[in-house]
């Protein structure tokens, strides 16, 4: 298992592996081997030396990761001890080739590009979970386009909505967040290669040629110039993670509230080791929602931490970029943890339409007070109608009777509203307004944009 116990609630196994020690080291080694090959292509490094460096850098597990970790802390940068270890490994086979390791690069080039390579791997995993989630939400929305339920405003019962519309609202936010994240991923997946001061002066007139060749070797975009002290691309990326994770958290909050015992309108999928209690066998806890909410609460602070480190000095910063690795890793792992957990929920969510309708009925028609007030206002005036309805609501609560039954006893109501209007007052399907139009518009906007 790649995840540490202390991170077990904050990272899925695939993302834990992406940011594992071996994976991080391999990303740095991949930069060094790609650099040697790129420089061989433009005639700086002998091809035999590039081949020897590539072979030596092929297997991160052959290096002493503990010793490298200690060395990184001492050096204040990951690049120095890694380059030193790689030089020694190459020297053992070819002393002349060892002299070409890390030619023209600086330690921050290694660290930044390694981080970008890790993000590239994470993009595929995170994107897959988001696609699972969106697909499941589309299915849920379609299945429950006519399933009526209580609307809830300020945590209180409100006029009815459909569960299909509610799910479409979740889907819209997740889809918009996914699209923003995809764009920010593409902007962030750029090579870092600038040498000592960001000019590649040590490579003379071949600096840009090496940069383009190196970017091609690594499958990254080549930026207009090195970005050592300009962290805006990464900042935009982590901010998009923050917004998306907030949207995922909103869905998890809704579902967990709907799972409360006294509400019981939906339920997460269960299974071995999922949702139980250590002391209460009857419980079916919203565990996947809990993991999503934990991520949504953790990420904003991490994003803030990254943003606070953006003010970096001159051409290379002191303490700014050095703070980013654990911050970015935690943000990405948390975002994917939320997406993966919520995808599991959406794919197996149990929905109880009968309980939703029963919860509507339990309001004794009070959620339709707006409806009758609007009908009466046209004839009695708004203020009179509001006062009449408010007084009747108080009687309904005190007597535990349906609002419509009490209204039917009032002459000022019965003389103005036909009996069938009062009889149908509490039919939720007749007071959904534009719910289905909104639901269809949300789904159309998502499916059409993804088909472009």
Residues assigned a catalytic role? 277, 316
Helix (H, G, I), strand (E, B) or coil at 152: strand
Q: What is the largest CA-CA distance in the chain?
A: 104
Considering only CA atoms, give the Rg of the chain. 30
Helix (H, G, I), strand (E, B) or coil at 162: strand
Positive/negative CA dihedral, 433, 436, 439, 440: negative
**Residues near 154 by Cβ (< 8 Å), separated by ≥ 6?**
none
Pairing mode, if any, of strands 156-162 and 148-153? antiparallel
CA 302 vs CA 2, 108, 124, 321: distances in Å? 22, 22, 22, 14
CA 313 vs CA 90, 286, 331: distances in Å? 35, 46, 24
Query: Nearest to residue 316, comparing CAs of 239, 235, 231?
Result: 231
How far apart, in whole angstroms, are the C-alpha atoms of residue 408 and residue 425? 11
Query: Cα-flanking dihedrals φ and ψ of residue 412, to 5°?
Result: -65, -20
- CB burial class (10 A; 0-12, 13-18, 19+) of residue 231? buried
CB 200 within 8 A of CB 211: yes
Q: DSSP secondary structure string, 251-299?
A: HHHHHHHHTSTTT-SEE----TTSS--SS-TT----HHHHHHHHHHHHH
How far apart, in whole angstroms, are the C-alpha atoms of residue 371 and residue 159? 9
């Amino acid at each position: 298992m790649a995840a540490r116990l202390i991170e077990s609630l904050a990272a899925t196994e695939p993302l834990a592996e992406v940011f594992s020690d071996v994976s991080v080291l391999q990303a740095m080694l991949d930069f060094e081997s790609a650099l040697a090959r790129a420089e061989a292509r433009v005639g700086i490094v002998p091809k035999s030396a590039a081949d020897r460096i590539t072979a030596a850098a092929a297997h991160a597990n052959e290096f002493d990761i503990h010793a490298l970790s200690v060395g990184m802390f001492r050096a204040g940068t990951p690049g120095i001890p890694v380059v030193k270890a790689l030089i020694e490994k190459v020297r053992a086979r070819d002393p002349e080739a060892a002299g070409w390791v890390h030619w023209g690069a600086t330690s921050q080039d290694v660290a930044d590009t390694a981080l970008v390579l890790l993000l590239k791997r994470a993009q595929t995993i995170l994107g897959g979970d988001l696609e699972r989630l969106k697909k499941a939400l589309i299915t849920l929305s379609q299945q429950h386009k006519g399933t009526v339920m209580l609307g809830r405003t300020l945590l209180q019962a409100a006029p009815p909505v459909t569960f299909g519309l509610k799910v479409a609202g979740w889907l819209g936010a997740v889809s918009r967040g996914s699209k923003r994240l995809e764009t920010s991923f593409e902007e962030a997946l750029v090579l870092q290669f600038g040498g000592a001061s960001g000019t590649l002066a040590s490579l003379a007139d071949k600096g840009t040629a090496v940069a383009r060749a190196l970017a091609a070797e690594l499958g990254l975009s080549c930026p207009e110039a090195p970005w050592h002290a300009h962290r805006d691309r990464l900042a935009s990326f982590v901010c998009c993670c923050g917004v998306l994770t907030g949207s995922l958290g909103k869905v998890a909050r809704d579902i967990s509230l709907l799972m409360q015992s006294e509400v019981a309108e939906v339920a997460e999928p269960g299974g071995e080791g999922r949702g139980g209690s250590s002391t209460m066998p009857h419980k079916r806890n919203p565990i996947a929602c809990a993991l999503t909410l934990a991520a949504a609460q953790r990420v904003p602070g991490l994003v803030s931490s990254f943003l606070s480190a953006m003010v970096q000095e001159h051409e290379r910063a002191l303490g700014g970029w050095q703070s980013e690795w654990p911050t970015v890793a935690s943000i990405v792992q948390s975002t994917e943890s939320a997406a993966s957990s919520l995808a599991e929920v959406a794919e197996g969510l149990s929905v109880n339409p009968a309980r939703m309708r029963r919860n509507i009925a339990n309001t004794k028609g009070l959620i339709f007070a707006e409806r009758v007030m609007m009908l009466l206002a046209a004839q009695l005036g708004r203020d009179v109608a509001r006062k009449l309805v408010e007084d009747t609501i108080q009687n309904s609560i005190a007597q535990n009777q349906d609002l419509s039954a009490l209204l039917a006893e009032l002459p000022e109501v019965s003389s103005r509203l036909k009996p069938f209007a009062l009889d149908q007052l509490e039919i939720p399907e007749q007071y959904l307004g534009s719910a289905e139009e909104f639901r269809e518009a949300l789904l159309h906007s998502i499916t059409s944009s993804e088909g472009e």
